[in-house]
């Protein structure tokens, strides 16, 4: 076992992990932060995307021990200080950017990473950035629309509802 200490959503946490413990398992099982979803566990689907030191990564394909000392942000850290939904989360609700919701935590975390680097993305840039996030319900249109709306752009001309 290795002892690790890191910051998760602004709070200092620590725990003992095996070498093989994945960051996704540490978040879900040690910290009970079950908003980070395990969709495929093969780094294909992106449901487990979290931010490590500000960068989007797949938590199912990073060892918890690698995150020792890191600053981690999960979907639970995306709400506003008063507990209301953050801008991207609210946009997903307003624009029906989810159906079953399983992929949504990863979608929101990827969207946040995109908007940090590119505050005004085109529809094409959003679609390309979401290459590693799979959704089997929506057909992506409303996810793309929600992210455009969250960036403050006019989405009235995007056709699909």
Partner 1 sequence: MHNFDFAKPATIADAVAALQGDEAQPLGGGQTLIPTMKQRLAAPEVLVSLTHIPDMQGVCTNDAGQLCIGGATTHATVAREAASSFPGLAHLAAHIGDPAVRNRGTIGGSLANNDPSACYPAAALGTGATICTNLREITADDYFQGMFDTALDEGEIITEVRLPIPQAAHYEKFVQPASRFALTGVFVAKYQDHVRVAVTGASENGVFRWADAEAALSQSFASDAVADLSVDPDHMIHDLHASKEYRANLVKVGTMRSVKKAK
Q: Contact residues for partner 1 (CB under 8 A)? A: 2, 18-20, 22, 41-43, 46, 49, 55-58, 61-63, 65-66, 68, 110, 113-114, 129, 131-133
- Please say which residue, 22 or 148, places its beta carbon nearer to partner 1: 22
Per-residue burial over 105-132, b = 16 or more CB atoms within 10 Å of its CB, e = otherwise: bbbbbbbbbbbeeeeebebeebeebbee
77: left (phi over 0), alpha (psi -120 to 50) or beta: alpha
- Please say which residue, 98 or 109, places its beta carbon nearer to partner 1: 109
Rounded to a whole number of angstroms, the minimum distance from the CB of residue 133 to partner 1 is 8
Rounded to a whole number of angstroms, the minimum distance from the CB of residue 65 to partner 1 is 5
- Please say which residue, 8 or 47, places its beta carbon nearer to partner 1: 47
Whole-angstrom Cα distance, residue 111 to residue 65? 26
Whole-angstrom Cα distance, residue 46 to residue 107? 8
Rounded to a whole number of angstroms, the minimum distance from the CB of residue 160 to partner 1 is 21
Rounded to a whole number of angstroms, the minimum distance from the CB of residue 23 to partner 1 is 10
- Please say which residue, 12 or 42, places its beta carbon nearer to partner 1: 42
């Amino acid at each position: 076992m290795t002892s690790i200490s890191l910051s998760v959503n602004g709070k200092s946490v620590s725990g003992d992990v095996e070498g093989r413990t994945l960051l996704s398992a540490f978040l879900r099982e040690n910290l009970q932060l079950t908003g980070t979803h395990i969709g495929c566990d093969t780094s294909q689907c992106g449901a487990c995307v979290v931010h490590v030191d500000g960068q989007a990564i797949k938590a199912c394909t990073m060892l918890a021990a690698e995150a020792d000392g890191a600053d981690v942000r999960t979907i639970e850290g995306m709400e506003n200080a008063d507990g209301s939904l953050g801008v991207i989360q609210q946009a997903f609700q307003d624009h029906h950017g989810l159906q079953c919701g399983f992929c949504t935590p990863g979608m929101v975390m990827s969207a946040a990473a995109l908007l940090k680097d590119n505050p005004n993305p085109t529809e094409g840039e959003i679609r390309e950035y979401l290459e590693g996030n799979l959704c089997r319900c929506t057909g992506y249109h409303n996810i793309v629309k929600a992210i455009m709306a969250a960036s403050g752009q006019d989405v009235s001309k995007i056709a699909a509802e």
